[in-house]
Amino acid sequence: MKRLLLFTALAVTGLVSYSQQVKGKIFDATNNNPLPGATINLAGKTVTTGADGMFSIDCKTAEITVSFVGYDIYRQKIRNCDEELSIGLMRSGHTLDSVEISATSAQNKSMLYQPVSITKLAPAELKRGQGIFFDDVIQTSVPGVIMNRRSVSGGQQFNIRGYGNGSRGTRGISSNFDGQGYKVYLNGIPVTDAEGITTLDDIDYASIGNAEIVKGPAGTLYGQAIAGAINLQITSPEKGKTSLAQQVMLGNYGLQRYTTILQTANQRSGIFLAYGKQKSGGFSIHNSSHKDFVNFVGDFQAGERQTMTTFVGYTDSYDERLGELTMAQYQAKDYSGNIEYIKRNAHSHVSTFRAGLAHTYRFGKAIANTTSIFGTGFRSDASSAGGWTDKTSVNYGFRTSFDTRFNVGNGALLSGITGMEIQRQDAQIVGYNMKANPSDPNPGGPWVYGVSPYWIVNVVTSNTAFVTTPTAYFTEWTLGLKNDLSITAGIGLSSQRIVLDDRFNSPAATVTRPAHFDTSYKRMVSPHVAINKVFNRHVSVYASYSSGYKAPVSSYFFIATPQVGTTPATARVNDVLKPEKGTQFEIGAKGNILNDKLIFQVALFYLKFSDKMTAVAVPVPATPPTATAYSYMINGDAQLHKGAEASIKYSVIKDGNGIFTNVTPFVNFTYSDFRYGDNFILKTGTSTAAGGIDTMNYSGLDVFGVPKLMMAWGVDVATKYGVYANFSHLYKDPQNISLERLTNNPETFALRKATSYNLLNAKIGCRRTLSTHFDFDLFVGINNITGVQYPMMIFVNQLPDAYIPAPPKAVVYGGLNLKYGF
């Protein structure tokens, strides 16, 4: 009997002991990889995770703490010891992360082993501010890149290392009229269309969980990326978790943002589904914005050798345009806008549907293939002072690449990436002029905002249908030698075909005017050579040469002349226009030293953009010429860019055990000595008799739209209580805007500049886990704390149009994010 009682007691004790063990897995929340060696503390006991990220520890109904070098500390209340935990850690931004979504031939994906300037943006940077406007992220965290907005969240564009963007009509030198020169990808799908124009109005930046910016010509792996490439990725589902989240943000100027997120994932599949609704009344008249976003990401592992991922997204975006301010308006702080824009209901309305499917198959240790197919349906209508434009297009294509790895003896490893990308766009653009609304209660009188109805679409002024087909073939190889020395060499071959049909038959056109245009730009060869050396796995230095091209877009490649007198209208392919070319020499260093507390990236470069495309004006046959008959594109001189960029972070406190768990100051620095070549002289003009024809000399001037010095610094702070704070300061030097003609005979010009400015931004919040099911994040922030005047965008070389102003007062916002875990 005693033995039976003793056996029963021991069995009960064992069962109780077993039931008091809590188990779980720790993994990287960004890519779902297990984190071996993570430290778990619970009720005074400490364990570490194994190679698979798994752990078990004696359970108490207390708070569990999980820490791992380079990741934010995670805390959670344990209320049920029988529930297996699945904990994803967020990267703290304290280390040089690995390249995840940018193409690379290096076998080691750590940033230390990449002989190129790449800035990686993790959630720490993406959510430092409001998290819904990407220009805030770029200006604070990415040296060498400028991002502008033409409205609350429309007309967005990048300017990488001073390349600029597309040229506009008769305004001469390359301006920033649209997004050209860079390639943007969203979950592997090109956002940049097949003629090389990037529209960013339809991107839901609040759902972006990872971004990588390649700076400088990237033609070897990305085709026509003369200035660089931007890879964006929607947040991936957290493996081992199912959750439903609701996020709300409100702010002044009528800002509202609502996001609902459902995500679930296990070891072999994951789904992320988000719906976002965003509104703003704007800070002035005719300045409102509204957007609807739907994003779906599905990740599936079909077996040990293959994985599949799919992305589907829909966006409807509408942004009113206030119009550009003149220099006089801006100086007087008159934000009433441009009446010619407002009465035409100036706006940008974009609706897109994107879908892509990527499949990766590993044939073995030496070779793997990733192939993706994608398509985008795009429709936009936009109006401005110049009239109304409708665009409908379909972009589709595929990208395939083989990743290879071979041991070549003596400890050397040869790894490479080889593939191709083909894209096609079928598009139609129809332009209209506009007229006063017949229901105007004051016909013929002055147009009055709020009283007079908006103007309406009138007659067709242009109608073009075109097909653009870029192709890119690439191969790049990295030879990894002993002592962490590597040599990289690659080459890309790109081409572009444009076929355009002019379907507009104006009264001035004749049957002798051609309406069909077809041309190709071939043999755009972009080599890349680099050498990289890593010291003690903490510091690397590199030197590289890279190149890239930019072919003309559909509106550049033909010349159409109107009927003048008895001379009939004509048109022809501009067969002397050739692609721009970018070549760059760069040296740099990267590192994480002092126990990974000091993280830095430094780059010095010399970048030359040759054969810069620019518009010239042909005057009407009159003496003196007082108006422009037509304009066309030519290749001008070169732009010579010498620059220095640095990004430095130092963790004063890192993974601390006291009140402060993280205190990290950061500095991002950009110096740009960018100049036009010695023979940058051209003729330009306007379509009005008062404008005339100007002979413009840009030779030796600083490139327009680029400050000589930009610097951002700040500090990120976190405490063990979940309270966090971010502070940042941004400075921009003065920058050239335009040459303004003062007198006609002789022609004299004044160089107009935008003034420098400083911005102060701050955010404070509290992020806590309330239970095993509930997480919350409550925050409030202020942008432009001191209320300084500054522009959201400067229109380069387009006087009298000059400024898109930012809100004149501080932008105040606050929000609450709630997440329920099932």
Closest by alpha carbon to 449, among 286, 687, 232? 286
Q: Provide CATH 2.60.40.1120 ranges for the chain.
A: 20-89
- DSSP conformational letter for 568: P
Q: How far is 145 from 139, CA to CA, in rounded Å?
A: 7
Phi (first) and psi of residue 121, to 5 degrees: -115, 115
Question: Mean pLDDT across the stretch 294-304?
Answer: 91
> Following DSSP, what letter does each residue of 224-270 receive, concatenated?
S-SSEEEEEEEPPPPTT-EEEEEEEEEETTTEEEEEEEEEEE-SSEE
In angstroms and rounded to an integer, the radius of gyration of the C-alpha atoms of the chain is 29
| The CATH fold of domain 20-89 | Immunoglobulin-like (2.60.40)
Distance of CA 150 to the CA centre of its chain: 15
Question: Mean pLDDT across the stretch 472-476?
Answer: 98
Distance of CA 254 to the CA centre of its chain: 25
Give the pLDDT score at 5: 47
pLDDT at 15 over 50: no
Q: What is the CATH architecture of 111-786+793-821?
A: Beta Barrel (2.40)
Phi (first) and psi of residue 516, to 5 degrees: -120, 130
Burial (CB count within 10 angstroms: exposed 0-12, middle 13-18, buried 19+), residue 347:
buried
Closest by alpha carbon to 212, among 182, 240, 242? 182
For residue 266, CA distances in Å to 81, 240, 312, 462, 674 come to 21, 5, 20, 53, 50
- DSSP conformational letter for 448: -
**Burial letters 151-171, b for 16+ CB under 10 A, else e:** bbbbbbbbbbbbbbbbbbbbb
User: In this predicted structure, which of 50-59, 247-256, 443-452, 459-468 has the lowest mean pLDDT?
Assistant: 50-59
Give the pLDDT score at 748: 86
Give the pLDDT score at 172: 52
Q: For residues 625, 626, 628 and 634, what is the CA-based torsion angle, rounded to 10 degrees?
A: 50
Taking CA 62 as the corner, what is the angle to CA 776 and CA 242, rounded to the nearest 5 degrees?
A: 45
Q: Provide CATH 2.40.170.20 ranges for the chain.
A: 111-786+793-821
Q: Write the CB contacts of 11 (distance below 8 Å, at least 6 apart in sequence).
A: none
pLDDT at 488 over 60: yes
CA atoms within 13 A on the CB side of 258: 4
Closest by alpha carbon to 572, among 494, 638, 630, 647? 630
The 10s digit of each residue's pLDDT in 647-665 is 999 999 988 888 999 999 9
Phi (first) and psi of residue 521, to 5 degrees: -115, 115
Q: Is 136 left (phi over 0), alpha (psi -120 to 50) or beta?
A: alpha
The 10s digit of each residue's pLDDT in 415-429 is 999 999 999 999 999
Q: Are 318 and 292 spatial neighbours (Cβ–Cβ below 8 Å)?
A: no
The 10s digit of each residue's pLDDT in 723-757 is 999 999 999 999 999 888 888 777 788 999 999 99
Cis omega (within 30 of 0) for bond into 746: yes
Burial (CB count within 10 angstroms: exposed 0-12, middle 13-18, buried 19+), residue 822:
exposed
Amino acid letter for position 42: L
The 10s digit of each residue's pLDDT in 36-60 is 778 888 877 888 887 778 898 888 7
Q: What is the residue-averaged pLDDT of the chain?
A: 89
**3-state secondary structure (DSSP) of residue 15:** helix
Give the pLDDT score at 726: 96
